[in-house]
Amino acid sequence: MDAYQNVGIKRRMRRFFRRDGRALIFAMDHGFEHGPTDFEEHWEHVNPKVIIRKVVRAGIDGVMMLPGLARIAGDEVKPNVGLMVKLTSKTNLRPKGDQLLQSQLGFVEDAVKLGADAIAATVYWGSPAEDVMMRQFAEIASYAHDLGFPVVQFAYPRGPYINERYGKKEDYRVVMYGARAAAESGADMIKTYWTGSRETFAKVVDAAAGVPVLLSGGAKTDNPVDFLKLVWEVIEAGGAGAVVGRNIFQRENPEPFIKALIRVVHRNEDPEEAAKAEGLI
Ligand SMILES: O=C(COP(=O)(O)O)[C@@H](O)[C@H](O)[C@H](O)COP(=O)(O)O
């Protein structure tokens, strides 16, 4: 039975990762986590079918969504593209004191029925509600692994003690702690913050003990080359790629930008050269 599960996990991981062990994944959970205002720069992208059609056409490796959006637009995620369904979230409308908890909004069975290739959940390491998210993650991972599905942990250090002790949640010591906690809690992929330098991100990768570490994209950079450079640093640090939302859907024409990202992630191309090749500069 164990052998079957492992084969299932490995096969499904390959839906996202190319032979080079890297992946570029599109994130589309912002309408829920941040609110639809995130789409106001290019309002047509509030329609998941429109933006997912574009990212798939550009050659993205995977798409991450919450279950409801996967019901609406999962069909646009063509069979050669991995579908990651995330089972926890929170809205930005919650009172401030409750923002440090992600609640479960779906079940492993839902993700399986939706045709997911991987199942994701967030843990805010350091939150007063860390215990709740650890249990959610444990339940999701245990069941998903039983069924042969890989589990992705969005391992985000976030909480009052972190700020007090480390100054900010992007301090590499706390990001690598979160990545290590994700690996030790059974994640098959880890998504986390940029730590500010290649050297420090390499330590995060080391701390994850072989579990692939993906960058969580962050706010859109005005200059597209700046984001390509950041992703290049992640790859040079041994990172396995990136999960990117705003830097894609907040651009008027995301397709050449994705193609440039693919050049950086999968072909080790210099960011400026990749941008030139795709007509971004
Ligand atoms: O993890 C998320 C939110 O994180 P946040 O609370 O904004 O730090 C997701 O909504 C996104 O999937 C993730 O941030 C990736 O999207 P971008 O940051 O690239 O927009």
Structure pTM? 0.97
For position 2, what pLDDT does the model report? 65
The preferred substitution site among 24, 26, 28, 29 for testing ligand 1, maximizing ligand atoms within 8 Å of CB, is: 29
CA distances, 217 to each of 61, 63, 231, 259 (Å) = 15, 14, 9, 16
Q: Does the pLDDT at position 3 exceed 90?
A: no
29 lines ligand 1 (CB under 6 A): yes
The Å distance, Cα 7 to ligand 1 centre, comes to 30
Q: In this structure, what CATH number is given to the domain that contains residue 234?
A: 3.20.20.70
Residue 244 CA, closest ligand 1 atom number:
19
How many domains does the structure of the chain reveal? 1
Tens digits of per-residue pLDDT, 186-240?
999 999 999 999 999 999 999 999 999 999 999 999 999 999 999 999 999 999 9
152 lines ligand 1 (CB under 6 A): no
Catalytic residue among 54, 86, 124, 156: 156
The Å distance, Cα 217 to ligand 1 centre, comes to 7
48 lines ligand 1 (CB under 6 A): no
Give the residue numbers spanning the domain of 108: 4-278
Q: Does the pLDDT at position 177 exceed 80?
A: yes
Tens digits of per-residue pLDDT, 139-153?
999 999 999 999 999
With a threshold of 0.90, tell me whether the complex ipTM lies above it: yes
d(CA 20, CA 262) in angstroms, rounded, equals 12
Look at strands 88-89 and 103-104 and give their pairing: antiparallel
181 lines ligand 1 (CB under 6 A): no
d(CA 19, CA 91) in angstroms, rounded, equals 36
Q: List the residue whose alpha carbon is closest to atom 3 of ligand 1.
A: 33
Tens digits of per-residue pLDDT, 44-91?
999 999 999 999 999 999 999 999 999 999 999 999 999 999 999 999
